[in-house]
Each structure stands twice: as structure tokens, then as C-alpha cells.
Structure 1
Amino acid sequence: MAANIDGTLIWAGAYTADSDGKGMGIGAIAVGDDGDLSWLGTAVEAPSPSFLAVHPALPVVYAVAEAAQTVRAYRRTGPFGLEALGDAWPAAAAACHVAVDPAGRFIVVTCWGDGNVLLFGLDDDGGITSRFAAAPAKDPHSSADGGIDIATGASRVSRAHASLMLDDGRIMTTDLGFDVVRVWNYFPDSGLLLDHEVALPLGSGPRHLVQHPSAAVFVVTEYSIEIAVLLPGADGRFVLSGRGPATAGGAADGDAAAEVALSQDGRFVYAGIRGSNRISVLAVEGSGTRLRPVADVPSGGDWPRHHLVRDGWLHVAHERSHDVATFALDPATGVPGEVFQKLGVGSPTALVVAP
């Protein structure tokens, strides 16, 4: 089972038995310079570590435990192993995403189940030391007709889903239940304090997001299958500059957008579409302020929950077909070619590069 780690090491989040998944914990995958993937083994057993983030300077990875409603730090041991760094900390219902401050001061955890946005302070070793809950979201569409959650058919509820560390030091979070993006400032003694918010169209469902070097933020919407472009004004407040389809061929019944990623040169955006199981490629135009759909490519498996773009390769984690599919990217067009390789991985949900 062991393989040489001559290239890149990727840690893979997964669903485990407590979420009806087939993973065992955080997996370890070696990526050769030729794009070839090798399964190294389980780095550490953990309950449904569905999303991961790595410390910017230390060999530490953070994982949410979605069913257990906790977050935990793990420290690297040996070539690819991990061990717990301190105890698991309580998060909230369906903790589904974690992101790390570029200065290594804190992590932010967002919770789909109840809308909680939580900040956890870190010590110099990367361990978790404190917990702060941010203010709950308010529905900007509360006076609109309907008020029904698209995913459940019930009354609309807050569903925080992801966070992004902005280039200017602020933090941006999405709430796909209330169709709102919030921008925060960090204070060491109190956590996150709201700076401002941006309402997206009713029923769009902002899910994941990425920032372009131009400062524009691209937000993929799970329900409407679009990408919203947020631009900062002279006063620093973001506004909705535009939105358009996340796919070249349109959405299909049952589709749900998942991850959004940027090519390393900033020329292309990649959106994962579950249901019809596609990766959609969009060209970045207008000095980083507009997107144009270019192509839709089969993702190579079932339910592409997350993907990673790195060194000319695209790696796609398929939650339901239990594999990671790898594609070579055309350097001119950004479009993936045929599936280069598929590696069996139990219920993968997230892929991050180990430091």
C-alpha cells in the first residue's frame, strides 16, 4: 500500500459510516509529476471529515466532523500520517466547511444545519484554543413572496456553507439558505464582526467561492447553477456586479452546483455540477471581472462534490462513485481532456494539498 511521495501529497476528506459513507477518515494520495495518483492509505481515522484546510506554515490540517458536529486539528507524522493535535472542539449542526487564516491566527467553520459561523483561535503550534460564534444571519428576502427553502420545501432557514479569506484580510461567508454573502472583520478577543452583506437573488443558493487576483469574488450558486461576480467598490463594500450560467449547455433537472476553483494563472474557472456530473469551464475576461462559459465536460464519475486544480491537472472527487478522476488540462483552452486516471477512494468529499 505504501508508495513513494516523489511529487505532491493530497489529503482527502470523506464521509464515513456515521454519514453512510465508505471512507475511514482522512485519506492520503500521492500525485506524481506525470499526474499519476497512488493511494497511500488512511492518514488518520476520523468521523466524516467532510472538509479540510491546511495551516499556511505548519504541517497541520483541520477537519470538520460533519455528523459529530466538531472540528479538530491534526498534525503530520511521518511521510503521510496524521495524529490528533488536541481535542475535538464543538462546532454546530452539520459543520461542513473550514478555512484557515493566511496568518495562521484562526480558522472559520461554517455549519449547514443551523447557519452557525464560528471562529476558532489558534496557538503558535496550530492547536485550537478558543471558540467564538458570529452573529446569526438575517434573511434579506424575508418580505419576498414564498419564503420556502428550495432544498427541503420547508420555511427558509439559515444554512452557512463556506468561508473565504479575502486578500485584504477580511472574511467572506456564504449562506445558501438565506441567499446572502456576508463580509466580516476579525478581532482577536471577540471573533468575527459584520462589516457588510450582499444579497443574492432569491432562491439562488450561494455555496462556494473563490477570489481572483483582480479582487473579484466568484460565487457558485447551488440552486440556480450560476456564478455571481462580486466586486469591491472604492469604499471596500462588495456589490453584485453580474451573474450568469455556470455551464455552457445549461442546467439539467436535478442538478446542484458544488465546488468552484480557479486555474493557477487566473485565466479559467472550473465549476462542478452534481446530477448531470459535469465540470464546466469558464474563461475569465474583462481584467478578471467577467466570466464566459466555454465548455462542459463529463466529470468522470458520480456526484462531483469537490475538485482541485493544480500544475496543469484537474482532480475530481466523486462522492457517490467512490473515486477521484484526473484530467490533463489544455494549457491554451483550459478544457480537460479525456479521463487520464481514476483512483478508488471511499466517499471522497474534499481534496487539499498537504504543505
Structure 2
Amino acid sequence: MTQFGLKDEIPIYVGTYAKPEEPGIYLCGLNFQTGAMRVVSHFSGILNPSFVIVNGEASRLYAVSEQAEGRLVSYRINIASGELTELDSVPTEGADPCHLASLPNGDVIVSNYSSGTVNRFALGEQGEASRLAAKVQQVGTGPVTDRQEKAHAHSTVTDLEGKYAFASDLGADRIFIYRMQDGGMVHHGEVALPPGAGPRHFVLHPNDQYAYGINELNNTITIYSYNKVEGRLDIIDHVVTIPEDFTGESYPADIHLSEDGCYLYGSNRGHDSIVRFEVDAVTGKLVDPEWTSTGGSWPRNFAVLDDYVLVANQFSGNIVSFKRDANSGKLTATGQELAISQAACVEPVLE
């Protein structure tokens, strides 16, 4: 691994909650022999870059600025050093953007939490996400009155072909499905979850037969069958993300599959754990849960690599690395961590 001149290291960008004058986005290196991490450089000038993504060529980074009048900031990545140069900053046309996704053509989709809007931005000549191409206002409420008083778009995930997008709405208890059509977004369907579930993040299985969504308000993961031709989801089952004997408050956050689709992982804020499930290859159901302490408080976001899992613990301000056994999916603490204040998002840059 020699990306950005980092020998024996995997580059990782980290998004945080920070003031504009403080370091907000960090470039870090993960030693793929030991799991040790270090800060290579950091960048300021943006308020609350709580979610960042890197495009497929690792030439551009996009970051939300999570605030009442949200912004989408585009950066050029120096291919030799990984340093960032701001290209553009535009309003997201929504409040408190909290998630980004990219389409195969490079367009960027922003989920605005507080306004319940999902917006698509087309790229400019320099690869900056600058032109609002589509804006969708989601609508709905749920029984948890202090969290579900209106729609709250929490994430949007697209299929590999960029044909459909799946927007998890915590406030509406729904997955809204959109067709990516003529450069825009057309409502295609929706799936209603149990009242008070609070869908947050979502992932499609690499076999294109199943999908999984983590629900923040009732500590569950929903298992879906997926018809990729019709862009249809059907609920198969729900599983609990925390142990039966846990009596405290906990709110699931992030969800990821291993690259081979054999194991699924979810983060629990409050229980402060990563839960690992084995994926039944025939039914898509989740079995054999195992919990691993994240070594910190409030694991908001994490990344699953072949050999490692990296967890961003927001409240304790540390990123912790775990060795991942590819044969069992089990996690073992490496004893390595990196202090980054209000760490909220980890984005590995892989060859």
C-alpha cells in the first residue's frame, strides 16, 4: 500500500464535530501489520464535517457541514500526499445534513436529517458537487413523539448500478425508494417498518438478494429480501442488536457487511459495542450474535476492512482498531487507538 506516500499504511479520512477554526477532517494512516494508527495531517475551515466520502478514484472528498443551514463541501485530493484543497461549498438545501452517498456517475446524494429532505447534486467541471439536480421532501411521523414529530432522512444508499436509492427515514418509520431517472429522483415505492423503529442506516448484500437496515429507536436490525430488477424490498425478519440482559439505554447507529457478505456488523451507542452476526447464505437471516466492546463511548460510525474493523467513538473521542478473523467474523482488540475529538466518521481509501 503506497497511496498518498503511506508505506505499509491504509489511508483513512476521519470526519468529526468541530468548529471551523479547529481541525475537522483528519487524514490518518492505519498500519496493516499492527493495527496502529496515526494522524498524518488535518484540515480546518468547515463546521461539523460529521460525514465524509471519497470517490472511486480517490481524487475527490465530499463532506457535509452539519448545521441548521447545511452545506456540502467538495475537496480535491492530492494524489501524492492526500492533502485536501477546497473546490466548492454549496447549500444542501436542507437542515443538518448527516449522510452522503455517491452514484456511479459521481453525483452525490445528501440526506438532510432535520428537514427530512434527500437531495441529489451533479458534478461540475472540477468534480465538485455543486448543482442541485433533484430535491425530495419526505413526509411522515411515528409514535416516539420527541424523535418522530416529522420526517428525518438519516441516510440514503444506492445500488451498484445506480438505478435505485434507498432512503432510511427515522421520523417516518419508512424506507423510501427512488429511481435515479433522467438525472433526478423519482418516487418508486416505500416500506413501512414497525411503529417506533426509527430506521437509520442501510446496506445491500453483495448477492443482490437481501438487504439490512439498522433501527435506532427500537434496537433492531431488519432483514429484507431484495428484488434488484423491480427495486422492491420485503421484510423477512427483525433481530435485536443488544443482549437480552442489557437494561440500559442504547441506540444503534451504523451497519456494514464484510466484503464477502458472510458477516454483518452493527454499532450500539449506549451498550458501546459492535455486534457481529453470521449471515445465513440460504435465507439471508442473521444468526450467532457476538458482542465486542468498542473501547470507548458512543460508537457512531465504523469501517469494515478485510483484516480490521475501525470504530469511531464520538463521546470518548477515540478511534479503536480491531483485528477481524475472516473465517469467523470475530473481532479482537489490537490494543491500538487514536485520540481524535468528537470522531464521527471513518472513510478508508482502498486500492
Normalised by the length of structure 2, the TM-score is: 0.90
CA distance in 2, matches of 1:174, 1:81: 32
CA distance in 1, matches of 2:329, 2:226: 27
C-alpha contact (below 8 Å) 1:54/1:352 kept by paired residues: yes
2:131 counterpart of 1:130: yes
CA distance in 1, matches of 2:215, 2:275: 13
C-alpha contact (below 8 Å) 2:89/2:130 kept by paired residues: no
CA distance in 2, matches of 1:91, 1:340: 42
One-letter code aligned to 1:217: A
Instruction: Give ranges in structure 2 of 5+ residues lacking alignment.
Output: none
Task: Give the match's secondary structure for 1:134.
Answer: strand
- Residue 284 to residue 263, structure 1, CA distance change in 2 (3 Å): same
CA distance in 2, matches of 1:219, 1:88: 30
Runs of 4+ more than 6 Å apart = none
Q: Render the CA deviation track for 1:139-167: whole Å, top value 9, x for unaligned.
A: 3xx6xxxx5435x26x6210000011113
Match for residue 75 of structure 2?
Answer: 74
- Residue 23 to residue 240, structure 1, CA distance change in 2 (3 Å): farther
Match for residue 144 of structure 2?
Answer: 149
One-letter code aligned to 2:74: A
**Aligned pairs for 1:13-92 within 5 A:** 13-17=15-19, 24-34=23-33, 35-67=35-67, 68-77=69-78, 78-92=80-94
C-alpha contact (below 8 Å) 2:15/2:345 kept by paired residues: yes
Instruction: Give ranges in structure 1 of 5+ residues lacking alignment.
Output: none
C-alpha contact (below 8 Å) 1:9/1:29 kept by paired residues: yes
Task: Give the match's secondary structure for 1:130.
Answer: strand
Choose the corresponding residue for 1:183, options 177, 182, 195.
Answer: 177
One-letter code aligned to 2:139: K
Q: Render the CA deviation track for 1:281-334: whole Å, top value 9, x for unaligned.
A: 011004362111421111110110000111310100011111100011123321
One-letter code aligned to 1:192: M
Matched residue pairs, number? 340
CA distance in 2, matches of 1:253, 1:117: 33
**Aligned pairs for 1:122-271 within 5 A:** 122-123=123-124, 125-139=126-140, 147-149=142-144, 152=146, 156-168=149-161, 169-189=163-183, 191-215=184-208, 216-233=210-227, 235-249=230-244, 252-271=247-266
CA distance in 2, matches of 1:239, 1:250: 30
CA distance in 1, matches of 2:230, 2:32: 44
Match for residue 322 of structure 2?
Answer: 327
CA distance in 1, matches of 2:271, 2:349: 30
CA distance in 2, matches of 1:249, 1:125: 51
Bigger drift between 68-77 and 84-93 goes to 84-93
Match for residue 281 of structure 1?
Answer: 276
C-alpha contact (below 8 Å) 1:210/1:262 kept by paired residues: yes
What is the CA-CA distance between 1:199 and the residue it aligns to?
0.7
Task: Give the match's secondary structure for 1:88.
Answer: strand
What is the CA-CA distance between 1:124 and the residue it aligns to?
5.1
Identity %: 24
CA distance in 1, matches of 2:31, 2:225: 37
What is the CA-CA distance between 1:127 and the residue it aligns to?
1.3
What is the CA-CA distance between 1:354 and the residue it aligns to?
2.9
What is the CA-CA distance between 1:339 and the residue it aligns to?
4.1
Bigger drift between 128-137 and 45-54 goes to 128-137
One-letter code aligned to 2:150: V
Q: Render the CA deviation track for 1:206-258: whole Å, top value 9, x for unaligned.
A: 00011111221110000111111122247442111221112354654310000
What is the CA-CA distance between 1:194 and the residue it aligns to?
0.7
Task: Give the match's secondary structure for 2:89.
Answer: coil
CA distance in 2, matches of 1:250, 1:133: 45
CA distance in 2, matches of 1:302, 1:66: 21
One-letter code aligned to 2:167: T
C-alpha contact (below 8 Å) 1:302/1:318 kept by paired residues: yes
- Residue 344 to residue 166, structure 1, CA distance change in 2 (3 Å): same
- Residue 338 to residue 127, structure 1, CA distance change in 2 (3 Å): closer
- Residue 149 to residue 12, structure 1, CA distance change in 2 (3 Å): same
C-alpha contact (below 8 Å) 2:139/2:150 kept by paired residues: no
- Residue 58 to residue 296, structure 1, CA distance change in 2 (3 Å): closer
One-letter code aligned to 1:33: F
Bigger drift between 243-252 and 262-271 goes to 243-252
C-alpha contact (below 8 Å) 1:247/1:293 kept by paired residues: no
2:110 counterpart of 1:115: no
> Alpha carbon RMSD of aligned pairs, Å?
2.2
CA distance in 1, matches of 2:130, 2:201: 27
